[in-house]
Structure 1
């Protein structure tokens, strides 16, 4: 090892001596260890910087997740609204179908009444005695 000399003020020398005593090593060993720990300190500083960057990225991702969560909730509400509209439309379609069916039945009744009214007496008597056959109904149409 190469030996070097340098000057230190008394206060700094006292701190170094106290640290060496705390570690129970000679002053020169403590000073060598302190100088050698500079590389480890740089590594730790780099690690801290890397972790800060990761933390920033995680915070950005958390903000993205929060925004996406809001969008998902909004889409779920929209989906529920559309499902309600769909159910209403299906109910309306069913109501309209029932109304059309009823209107067709009423039209059929009205047509039969008109046919009965316009039919000759002998045919009405036949229908009254024997009933109407589907062939006659089809022929009348």
Structure 2
């Protein structure tokens, strides 16, 4: 019997995205140039395979909340307060939505993510480093 409180991942994702004002890659790029913190949460292997966004802060997903909670002893210097604009980037824009919603739970209500993720960023012709050799 299913737990009546259980939700599917599609429901969880939809709920997360309802809380965000998601950005297309061009909007995210413009905001990052204007001082927003662009955070790449992809694992090292994905970044090596796909390439990276120059200037993006790399914070892998498993430590994101600790690095951006302004009250955490493990916070980054960039985690200056709850009003910080954080733009989360993953490979395709799914995990980043969940991560940005998690930052909302910490009070960083200006956090959002990039529709389509890194792949959409690269397809839009925005700055990236070269991907590693094909595996």
Same-fold call, TM > 0.5? no
TM-score, normalized by length of structure 2? 0.18
Q: Look at both structures and tell me which one has the larger radius of gyration over its CA atoms.
A: 1
Higher strand share: 2
Q: Which has the higher contact order (CA 8 A, sep 6+)?
A: 2
Higher helix share: 1
